[in-house]
Chains A and B, each alone.
Chain A
Amino acid sequence: DTGVSQNPRHKITKRGQNVTFRCDPISEHNRLYWYRQTLGQGPEFLTYFQNEAQLEKSRLLSDRFSAERPKGSFSTLEIQRTEQGDSAMYLCASSLETSGSLETQYFGPGTRLLVL
């Protein structure tokens, strides 16, 4: 399967613990995005990378959140000192940015986080 993959698919943690999620994009895609989706809502943009550079972060991304894409391939999203309000589905998407065209984002299945 050559789509976007995310691990783990589900994560249950206790408040105050740190969690890390991984996203493997489609191999030739140079852009990678993270979103958060809560129940009954559409996904909300968190951050995105062009290759290994993190180009923009949403105000939703508090200091407890950090994302990396060290080699321009897979990415990790870490949440430190989790809070119950962090419970959500975390979605990753990738795209191939080419000059002058609007690229399509391809989404992974998501990681569902539950903070107890």
Chain B
Amino acid sequence: AQSVTQLDSHVSVSEGTPVLLRCNYSSSYSPSLFWYVQHPNKGLQLLLKYTSAATLVKGINGFEAEFKKSETSFHLTKPSAHMSDAAEYFCVRAPRASKIIFGSGTRLSIRP
């Protein structure tokens, strides 16, 4: 089955420290992968997407993700967390338009 797994339901970091949100996918071929962020009472916003052009993908707000085929992972990172980063983050794969698969989400909390 084609799926995406977010390994942590909740991650808490201190402001100014690195962020790591983990995502693994299962697929028999190279997938198209995304990270979306959902702030309370706001719509889902695209952070970045992987389309096989480069394994290290840079997104908005200082986030980036690295596609590692050998590990079937697409982890999201940020060098220094900001209070405004507190939100729900979703790893998404999309082999085609009608097969958008969201992970279960990781809630990121930032401690002052």
Contacts and interface: CB of A to CB of B under 8 A. Distances in A.
Contacts of A102: 32, 49, 51, 94
A45 B42 CA distance: 19
B102 A44 contact: yes
A45 B43 contact: no
Contact of A105 (B41, B42, B100, B103): B100
B56 interface: no
B43 A33 contact: no
A45 B100 contact: yes
Contact of B43 (A101, A104, A109): A109
A55 B44 contact: no
Contact of A41 (B43, B92, B105): B105
Interface in A83-102: 91, 93, 95, 97, 101-102
Contacts of B32: 102
From B94, B97, B99, B103, name the one whose CB has the most chain A CB atoms within 10 angstroms. Answer: B97
Nearest to A56: B98
B80 interface: no
5 contacts: A4-B43, A42-B92, A103-B97, A104-B34, A110-B43
